[in-house]
Amino acid sequence: MNVVLISGSPRADGNTEQIIRACAATVEQAGLTPQIIYLRDNDIFACKACGYCKQNGKCRLDDCLNEIIEQVRGAKGLIVASPVYFGTARGDVMCLMQRLGMVSRSSDQFLDGMVGGPIAVARRGGQTITLSEMLMFFFINGMIVPGSTYWNMVVGNHIKGSAMEDTEGINTVTAFTENLCNLIKKIN
């Protein structure tokens, strides 16, 4: 059983990536298969509301999204982590989630019943708004979001790896990932 973990930062080996890799290790320890996707490798266009996905079950736009759709379609879990930019999620992350949701809702509802949730990474502020913004995607698509010991936020600045020193934040996302894996195993 696969769990897709998406890192929404453009910075290679930055805080978001290191957190996603820590979550992937937790997934592996739980006996599930992590699949990490790095958005830094790609530009993600915004949804054009063309309706192509209703007939075709995939997106008309020629970027990496259709590959990501196929990975998510075959998964039991989905974790999306974003750095906070100006108090909200990074633009590419929202573009990805909006198009992923549109294709799912317009075709085979592959997100419906899937377990997942968001993670926000920031230097100082905006994490709760970012989590709220990202949760809109999970809830409207029928996804099941497990809780944790705190909200899924980690504090880290421009120094790559500084977020790994936020022990409470890392413990929170680890507990979230453990709950996600336990839930997947129970319902599948």
Ligand X SMILES: Cc1cc2nc3c(=O)[nH]c(=O)nc-3n(C[C@H](O)[C@H](O)[C@H](O)COP(=O)(O)O)c2cc1C
Which residues in 96-107 are b (16+ Cβ under 10 Å) and which e? bbbbbbbbbbbb
Tokens standing for residue 91: 């633009």
Q: Does the protein bind ligand X through residue 125 (CB under 6 A)?
A: yes
Comparing CB distances to ligand X, the nearer of 146 and 156 is: 156
Q: Does the protein bind ligand X through residue 121 (CB under 6 A)?
A: yes
Q: Stretches 93-101, 140-148, 158-166, 169-177: which one binds ligand X (CB under 6 A)?
A: 158-166
Q: Stretches 61-69, 85-93, 106-114, 142-150: which one binds ligand X (CB under 6 A)?
A: 85-93
DSSP 144: B
Comparing CB distances to ligand X, the nearer of 81 and 115 is: 81
Q: Which of 157, 168, 182, 187 binds ligand X (CB under 6 A)?
A: 157
Ranges within 31-60 binding ligand X (CB under 6 A): none
Closest CA to 52 of 106, 108, 97: 106
Q: Which of 31, 86, 167, 186 binds ligand X (CB under 6 A)?
A: 86
Q: Does the protein bind ligand X through residue 77 (CB under 6 A)?
A: no
Comparing CB distances to ligand X, the nearer of 92 and 104 is: 92
Q: Stretches 50-58, 120-128, 135-143, 180-188: which one binds ligand X (CB under 6 A)?
A: 120-128
**Element (H or E) spanning 142, and its range?**
none
CA dist., res. 86 & res. 179, Å (int): 30
Burial of 19 (0-12, 13-18, 19+ CB in 10 A): buried
CA distances to 47, 65, 81, 106, 107 from 50, rounded to whole Å, are 8, 15, 27, 12, 14
CA dist., res. 114 & res. 136, Å (int): 15
Q: Does the protein bind ligand X through residue 130 (CB under 6 A)?
A: no
Integer-rounded Cα radius of gyration of the chain: 15
Q: Does the protein bind ligand X through residue 12 (CB under 6 A)?
A: no
Q: Does the protein bind ligand X through residue 156 (CB under 6 A)?
A: yes
Interface residue list for ligand X (CB under 6 A):
9, 11, 14-16, 83-87, 121-126, 156-158, 160, 163
